[in-house]
Amino acid sequence: MLGHIARRLGSNGLKGISPQQLLPKETHRHLQSSLDTIRPISTVSLWPFSSQPRDFSQPNSSWSPEMQKVYDHYYALCDTDTENGEGKKRPWRKLPSYNRSIKYATGGIHLSKLIQAKARLFTRNVKEQGATFEYVVFVNKEEKRCVCVFQAGRLLEGAPGHVHGGAIATMIDTVTGTLAGFLSGPIMTANLNIDYRSPMPLDSVVLIHSALDRIERRKTYITSKVTSTDESKLYTEATALFVSISVGHLFGSRN
């Protein structure tokens, strides 16, 4: 829209009159910043379909310097692929994060029934970057634990100026569930116990540390604590139980 106005201004023969003179100051500022972000056509993808699912846990411009710094710290500890195909073995791995649970799975009639075109993963369903859940999970397979770097956006307010307890529970469920799924395969949350120790200000960057406690038959027990990035402040402690399920469980089958 602003680009269109700018083109019209340029082609209407308004010679000698600058956009500043024609437009209110605020509109001109928006126009200028819009023009500054126009990319050359050679850098714009014309192919409307993507074969690669988008990884929502990549750094973006909404991340605070603190979020980026902690991300860089853990990313430097991760496995890497070198040019000759030999990766450097390191203990940590960054997990990708998509906005749908099973979009990229293929399967029979059961899976196709599950795939609803409009379904979206709860934590990844707000388009505005930084408004809700910004997070990335790093997992350490040897130590059977993971760390999530979480930046809580302004739309997660509960108590004034602070993060809603349900949003914190959502993230604890997500992170402990991710670790349980990583270690035990398909699971569902059976029990989640949370102790809220100190209020978490909006826009905080926190660490969600989760570790395997034990596995008993179909039950995977995970412990978790949420701390400040320097680990000096404790926000939340939790324990979670995940029960291994078969795909049929989601359709009411008991096997």
Ligand X SMILES: CCCCC/C=C\C/C=C\C/C=C\C/C=C\CCCC(=O)SCCNC(=O)CCNC(=O)[C@H](O)C(C)(C)COP(=O)(O)OP(=O)(O)OC[C@H]1O[C@@H](n2cnc3c(N)ncnc32)[C@H](O)[C@@H]1OP(=O)(O)O
**DSSP character string of 102-126:** STT---SHHHHHH--TT---GGG--
Separation of alpha carbons 6 and 19, rounded Å? 8
- Are 247 and 240 in contact by the 8 Å Cβ rule? The answer is no
Q: Which is nearer to ligand X, 31 or 241 (CB)?
A: 241
Tokens of 178: 């991710």
Per the annotation, the verdict on 55 as an active-site residue is no
- Return the residue of 77, 169, 211, 243 that touches ligand X, per CB under 6 A: 243
Distances (CA, A) of 250 to 118, 144, 237: 18, 27, 29
| Residues binding ligand X: number (CB under 6 A) | 19
The dihedral sign for the CA sequence 118, 129, 51, 104: negative
By C-beta, is 97 or 151 nearer to ligand X? 97
Taking the least distance from each CB to ligand X, the nearer of 10 and 185 is 185
SS3 of 215, please? strand
Instruction: Select from 67, 145, 156, 177 the one that contacts ligand X (CB under 6 A).
Output: 177
Site string for ligand X, 185-224 (x = CB under 6 A): -x-xxxx-------------------------xxx-----
Using CB under 6 A, which of 57, 99, 178, 210 touches ligand X?
A: 178
Shortest Å distance, C-beta 106 to ligand X:
13
Among 5, 9, 211, 245, binds ligand X (CB under 6 A): 245
Cα separation, 106 vs 186, in Å, equals 16
Catalytic residue, candidates 55, 72, 173, 213:
173
Cβ–Cβ < 8 Å for 183, 176: no
Pairing of β 145-152 and β 219-228: unpaired
Q: How near is the Cβ of 245 to ligand X at its closest, in Å? A: 5
Nearer Cβ to ligand X (126/243): 243
Known catalytic residues?
173
Q: What is the contact surface with ligand X in residues (CB under 6 A)?
A: 101, 173-174, 177-178, 181, 186, 188-191, 217-219, 241, 243, 245, 247, 249
